[in-house]
Structure 1
Amino acid sequence: MRQKNLKNYLEIGVENGHIFFRIKSTFKVAVDPKFLFDLSRRLGKSLINPYNFNNQYFEKTSDAFFAQDAQRIFAAKKLQLALVDGMHDYQFALRDVENSLNYMQENGVVVMHDCNPQTAAAAGRFEDWETGEWNGDVWRTIIHLRSQRPDLTVFVLDIDQGLGIVTRRKPDNMLDFTPEQIKAFTYNELTQNRATWLNLKPAAYFYEYFGI
């Protein structure tokens, strides 16, 4: 999002910091219940990318962060870009998106990972997951936002397990499902309606949508 000058950055689900440490911004907030890096790695990444000297780290759940810290952290600087890649569960992801939007500028963008699972196993519950890729049911969050939020444009880029894009623009079209219906959908129903429900777009659509 460099071309759009979106810099004030929040990442939920940082883990080893592979993406987080590469972002060039003087205002970066990392949230994860358990960071997979230590102080020495933070210092090393700051030498490689000096922007990392100003990072703010919150080793807690995203729910706890938004309840305890977000109002203070974003009081002076509104969010411009957020990556939601935390717990891959419908309700968790939905809260992360909506909480992020509460502290975001009007032209801000939320990016969601794991929105387009390719197998039933990858799209299942964490309790049932055994091995291989696990995306969870973040796809339900996409359907929910497209059904319940007429103030948002939401689509999924068909790359990297499905990258959801959420912006405050009036959508060209919406879905008409209740949360109860969304919760009851099966993976088989998703496969039959994937392109429509997810508003699935080719990777190049990103540049068209943002005029880059």
Structure 2
Amino acid sequence: MKRHEFLRGLHKATANRNYLEIGVNDGRSLTLSRVPSIAVDPAFKVVSEIKCDVHLAKATSDDFFARDNPLAHLKGGRHPLRNLRRGRSPLGHWRRTTLDLAFIDGMHLFEYALRDFMNIEQYSDWASVIVFDDMLPRSIDEAARDRHTNAWTGDVYKLVEILNRHRPDLVTVLVDTEPTGQLLVFGADPKNTVLRDKYDEIMAEFEVPDPQKVPEAILERVQSVRPDDLLSAGFWRPMARARNIGASRPRGWPPLRRALEEFGVNR
């Protein structure tokens, strides 16, 4: 299954009420959205008809999330930590926006993708679905930090190890889409600061010169799931139902995590 076909299925499976995309390029993935959306890219060149209520932000993702109210287009969106510093409750005057579905396909270097995740997580919760693109490079050359091939994933595949090691509270699912795979992350926790606290440590370990030592499990896709199996899994509808009624993390996350782990065992 090609990545855009999978993304189309993901919009349907998640029944998402809003959408954030980092890395717009020509807008092909953005054409799949039918809900209020934000798309961020410093040099987008949209050539396709967009069929959603969208705010196109011409900015780097770092600059975008540094704005005072980056998710204003999605109704609300004040940064919870900034609200608290100003003495305002994140559930008070400005209601906090929670992202249902986010797609990270920006700069193909792991540190950019990591910062994108950290920023997105601030506006996510246990029922949010965060997707990374280009997570299964097909060769060491394709995974280089210094691009020298036509098709290029860069070293964003490192997010698999980084998240699994430093954030075992999350559930990550590698998906065998064509051409270069994707990673879905479940269980976001905006209160968790581990990645921010360890960012310098992570950079010191994972920022290494080419050629990159890509794990065989990544190159051979041995830990990835079939996209159609994932889209047809039974946990999507209960997840959306619990999300829509505002189930708290202690109530909603444990059953979703069990369902995800059962899916991984039985696939």
TM-score interval, smaller chain: 0.7 to 0.9
State the identity as a percent: 27
Pairing 1:162–2:186 present: no
Alignment of 1:23-172 (within 5 A): 23-25=33-35, 27-37=36-46, 45=49, 49=51, 52=52, 54-68=53-67, 69-70=69-70, 72-73=72-73, 74-75=77-78, 76=95, 77-125=97-145, 128-160=146-178, 161-168=180-187
Structure with greater proportional strand content: 1
Q: CA deviation at 1:154?
A: 0.9
Instruction: List runs of 5+ in structure 1 lacking aligned partners.
Output: 171-177
What is the CA deviation profile of residues 53-84 of structure 1, one whole-angstrom value per residue up to 9, with x for unaligned ones?
A: x2111100000011114264524432110000
1:7 corresponding residue in structure 2: 17
2:195 corresponding residue in structure 1: none
Q: CA deviation at 1:188?
A: 7.0
Give the number of aligned pairs: 192
Q: Give the Cα separation in 1 of the matches to 2:137 and 2:221.
A: 13
**Conservation of the 8 A alpha-carbon contact between 2:40 and 2:64:** yes
TM-score using structure 2 length? 0.63
TM-score using structure 1 length? 0.78
The alignment's C-alpha RMSD in Å is: 2.9
Q: Give the Cα separation in 1 of the matches to 2:120 and 2:212.
A: 31
